[in-house]
A and B are shown apart, each in its own frame.
Chain A
């Protein structure tokens, strides 16, 4: 009846953006009055923090602060298509589109300022809310630069799209180029198994994921932590049951989800193997974060108590039964020898 600990690991890979089809996303950018910026794109914030990520990208490209960037609402009548929220695609597809659109808008502004100052455009930089020309004393706030543009009849805007070079799969042997960016990862899980009840507690997960380039590391951690806990729910407790077509888990009293008591500490390690194709080098994290968790936990349970769970979820009953099965088998072996 002891509580036994064990560890397991698993690796993973994943493709970024839509699978085996051409993906695309567009964005419009405007450097706005006061040195702020406006971005319109069909982005769908589903909680991952993509709006903040896009604001960071636009800010970095334009030399202003993220809080000075306004991202317009997603509206098919008001924003260019950026397709859906899924497939670990938004940072990659829309992030790159926003960067390209912002660069265009910035180029328009820089051209006006460079001509005002009589310097080459490639000497003009934008940073910290200012426009300045290297090797000169020329410098002005971004807001003044926008006013200057407008006084010259220019609204600094940009529009860009980002698409992938991908193909479908051959219907016979499956060959094809489903993605242009891949990510890889690996997780280690440590568990404690109560051999009295069969309960499994996942105490720690060490998660390493290549994300290309982390725009917001805390946001990446949030995706990893959340993904691991979703996977842990599937690993240990969640089970949508259906009998003769009718669910027996019709509400959240029967469909059991992990609470704050049931979750491990997660240590995230972010790897950056930059994407060579997109302008930013970013890839993604949303989905791959949860891929290695379940096998890592099952391998850890095996390490702890020798019970191999191949049918999810590893409920206390199933784990205890597997422990007893193993004990029976080893007694049987001992008797035979």
Chain B
């Protein structure tokens, strides 16, 4: 069957080009027409980074077979405006601070444009609904909604166009001023190139074979079939690493490609570079890996037991890191307590879900410098590790940061940059590797799931006498940031309170689950969830207001922390007072008094979401005006 020929109008220009019958409109726009403003975030219609207008109707172009664009009118983000000539909505995004990493923003701008085209007077709740197909992971949506409302109000004349302009600080001081983001015009217009938007002459495409087993010895790898395929330029595996293999934020326990065994489902084993992505993908089907499955362990408590399967030979107890903190004597503290409460808390694994899946390019420059372009959160450390892996002097390795489409800690790990380097060296050509969303989910780190047992003893007036805190965390198959996460969890876990007697233990444990790693709030989130829940449980039992019990124990200026560090100024008491005031908090014990409290429903709340804001708007519009 011959290729399709697509005749369409794209951003006002007639085009006529061949296309593969299986191509999606997104591929056609990005790969064939170089319109990379709209992104691929998930490939499954779940995120909206690829939203474009098709005959004036907003659609997710990852769900549109390219044949549906036949004779159609397509508008991408590039049609709306460009730096210096932005649309009102793009200017409003700039003004409102609606873009952060920017990866979702082209889709958001399209969705906001569509919402106001559908109803130029849409209220905030209706705008929310009309933006409901677009995920943003950075902003919390508030400033995006502000921007769409600002556009509406400028559009209908409620606000002057000057509302979109920069506010110059009157005193000429820029620290403390709401300066508009300098990078916003490039993000709201889709002009900014992320790694997956970049190409290089002669570039090859990379695909990676990943383990289907959680724990297995690799008996043999046969890549001959893949090597022989036309279009395949290079195949690499662990044997191709010239230096000391291994990376990690704290311990270098993860090989670039699985060495001798696999430790989780998704462990990279073999990487292929080929002339196009489809060939590279098909080449993986011609790699044969023989596995000898090993007993696996998925629960960190089981992994800590004697006799559990050992995941890394240098950690026979499977403990990646244990951090102890000891203050005073907890037994005497509990003995003095009027109330002792013990409770277990658990938190789940969380995916970073940055809208930009991992992507990067690698090449060897004319001077022989191995160069990696990727959205890495830590190019300094990556350069150190890669130089050792490649056995090159450190200035023969160069990392260039591409715009990061969201990180949250998940792009601190050097998960794929080593693969790019090996293939660039092997093929002598530039290579690019773009993860699918599914690959990003299966292969990269998560927030540590945790299980915490917290025992707290207090006096009748709410003073904490003793805390025993034990957290066990699933670190998964490799160390990554587990050590640091356990450390921060231990230091901060008992909260900003004066605790004379503390026994704190945090354990990070190897299992055969997806590795856990750095994630915004890094252990402090899991532990302080436990402590702050626990304080409310204790406050109810003691009949104390939640603010009051925290004030009784709050660190103040000059406090000594649980690691015996003397602090200077401590702003906690100010923060408590400011929150109480801002929320107009009605004091009382946390005894499920929601039904009787008087501080509910005031300013600062949104209207509860009951789907169908557009019905309400339509019903309102349909009502005849009342005559006085």
Contacts and interface: CB of A to CB of B under 8 A. Distances in A.
The yes or no verdict on A and B being binding partners is yes
Interface of A: 3-15, 19-20, 42, 44-49, 51-52, 55-57, 59-60, 63, 65-67, 73-77, 81-87, 127-128, 169, 171-178, 182-188, 190, 192, 201, 203-204, 206-210, 213-219, 221-222, 225-231, 233-234, 238-242, 244-247, 249-253, 255, 257, 259-267, 269, 271, 273, 276, 280, 286-288, 290-292, 294-296, 298-299, 302-306, 308, 310-313
A244 B511 CA distance: 11
Given A175-B563, A263-B140, A47 B529 contact: no
Given A176-B565, A250-B441, A183 B97 contact: no
Contacts of B520: 227, 230, 286-287, 290
B16 interface: no
Interface string B354-398: 000000000000000100000011111101000000000001011
Given A225-B140, A234-B447, A251-B438, A12 B605 contact: no
B604 to A, nearest CB: 5
A295 B492 CA distance: 15
Contacts of A42: 379-380
A308 B537 CA distance: 9
A177 B528 CA distance: 20
9 contacts: A15-B492, A55-B182, A84-B378, A217-B176, A242-B513, A247-B441, A250-B438, A251-B44, A294-B525
A6 to B, nearest CB: 3
The 8 A-B pairs of least Cβ separation, nearest first, read: A245-B214, A47-B101, A6-B594, A174-B325, A295-B532, A225-B140, A84-B378, A229-B140
A14 B522 CA distance: 10
B344 A310 contact: yes
Q: B143, B346, B369, B528 — which one has the most chain A CB atoms within 10 A of its CB?
A: B528
Interface string B109-150: 000000000000000000111011111111111111100000
Contact of B574 (A15, A214, A271): A271
B178 A217 contact: yes
Contact of A11 (B513, B567, B576): B576
Contacts of B593: 303
Contacts of B583: 7, 9, 188, 190, 204, 206, 267
A259 B127 CA distance: 12
Interface in B252-296: 264-265, 296
Contact of A240 (B174, B348, B567, B595): B348
Interface stretch (B70-78, B237-245, B403-411): B403-411
B468 interface: no
B313 to A, nearest CB: 20
Interface stretch (B79-87, B456-464, B483-491): B483-491
Which of B133, B296, B381, B521 has the most chain A CB atoms inside 10 A of its CB?
A: B521
B308 interface: no
A45 B604 contact: no
A281 to B, nearest CB: 9
A291 B495 CA distance: 11
Contacts of A286: 520
Contact of B174 (A59, A173, A255): A59
B592 A244 contact: no
